[in-house]
Structure 1
Amino acid sequence: MTEERADPAEPRAGPGTPGREGVARRGVALLAGIAVAVLALDVLTKVAAVASLEDRAPLELLGGAVYLVLLRNPGAAWSMATGYTWVLTIVALVVVGVIIRIARRLASTGWAIGLGLVLGGALGNLIDRFFRSPGPLRGHVVDMVSLFAPDGSVWPVFNVADSSIVCGGILLVLMAVRGIEIDGTRAPGKDTGGVTDGG
């Protein structure tokens, strides 16, 4: 009776080595946690802005580097596409749906953080689109931070959700440039400088 030996090239999961499903679950949990935190912070800051900045002059901070001013934006950044609020709402819904769908393949910490930031920001602005005036799918997004000028002439007035989406998008681009896939693997031919990101 011969003893079968395991193929030495075949990876074996040790007691402290999480399987692919476990890594994916941790990635989804990280994504969800970041999205919830961003959403909560966005909602709270918008409620505070409406309560304290309505019908008052912009509040100057840091010697004029930052101004707090209430702005209801029907469009995207720089007030672009102001007549297509419903289109922006649909685009945001698609983004949320895509993130939720691909989350099951998630096994990269960097991708989890980036997608969590984008998801939380998209949900934050979607709440405004659905529940603020003038009505569902047409609601105006509450913005309150203006840089270097009180009227958004230097940089568009933004909110926590906008910042989160931008930061998350930059992180996702960096991950793609480094060749790190959403499942934690590396794209062929990409040099990551020995830095790993398997979750």
Structure 2
Amino acid sequence: MQDETGTPLSATDPQQPAPTSSHAEPASHGARVSRRGLFGLLVVIAVVSYAADQLTKLWALATLVPGDPIDVVGEYLRLNLIRNAGAAFSIGNGATWVLTLIAFAVLVFIIVTARRLGSVGWAWALGMLLGGSLGNLTDRMLREPGPGRGHVVDFIDYFGLFIGNVADIFIVSAAILIGLLALRGVGVDGRRPERGRHEAGADA
């Protein structure tokens, strides 16, 4: 019982609301930071992939002679410079304009999808896909015979069956990673259907 009227309630009174910190951050702040960080990771991977592709192509053009392959691992892996009018691994010759439009569509898909990014695995996959696609698209836009019809520089000969470049390696690696993420049920936003709630970042 209180001794005097107007005496304040004790600090332990269960009816008194607990004090809140003036420095508390909104619950969504961490998610925003995480998404920003994942997008940054995507950009870094894309830049590294693109630079690796373009630098190796410049090296191949300056060093290799078309029609004069160099053995790296016997006849199983060679350096063999060609100009490719088709898609990855010389597939689809004669459809350069169509392939250029497809490459632009892939870029739009990546940009739109990246807005929901919440998974490290997807950041890697989209980064490699973006860098590789930009690498080959640069060739199609800037190399002969003209914009949109340019031939891609290929120089890695696999078993004498097909010839590709570093951009193709990143594109194929991205496709494999996307397949693995799909098998695990990891969405672009980091969610798993069976869990039903947001789970970002750690799902890779």
Instruction: Tell me the TM-score range normalised by the shorter chain.
Output: 0.7 to 0.9
- Normalising by structure 1, we get a TM-score of 0.83
1:22-52 superposed Cα distances (whole Å, 9 cap, x missing partner)? 1111110111000000000000000111111
Distance 1:104 1:138 in 2: 31
What is the identity percentage for the equivalent residue pairs of Structure 1 and Structure 2? 44
Q: Which moved more, 1:59-68 or 1:169-178?
A: 59-68
Larger Rg computed on CA atoms: 2
Q: How does 1:157-168 map to 2 (within 5 A)?
A: 157-168=163-174
Does the aligned pair in 2 maintain the 1:67–1:146 contact within 8 Å? yes
Count of paired positions: 183
Q: Secondary structure at the match of 1:27?
A: helix
State which of 158, 181, 184 in structure 1 corresponds to 2:190: 184
1:88-122 superposed Cα distances (whole Å, 9 cap, x missing partner)? 01111111111112212111000000111111000
Paired residue for 1:148?
159
State which of 97, 109, 112 in structure 1 corresponds to 2:123: 112
Q: How does 1:10-89 map to 2 (within 5 A)?
A: 19-55=30-66, 57-89=68-100
Unaligned runs of at least 5 residues, structure 2: 1-8, 10-14, 19-23
Does the aligned pair in 1 maintain the 2:83–2:154 contact within 8 Å? yes
Report the CA distance shift for 1:22/1:189 in structure 2 as closer, same or farther (over 3 A): closer
Paired residue for 1:173?
179
Amino acid corresponding to residue 133 of structure 1 in structure 2:
E
| 1:189 shift after superposition | 7.6
Does the aligned pair in 2 maintain the 1:180–1:197 contact within 8 Å? no
Paired residue for 2:148?
137
Report the CA distance shift for 1:50/1:75 in structure 2 as closer, same or farther (over 3 A): same
| 1:4 shift after superposition | 4.8
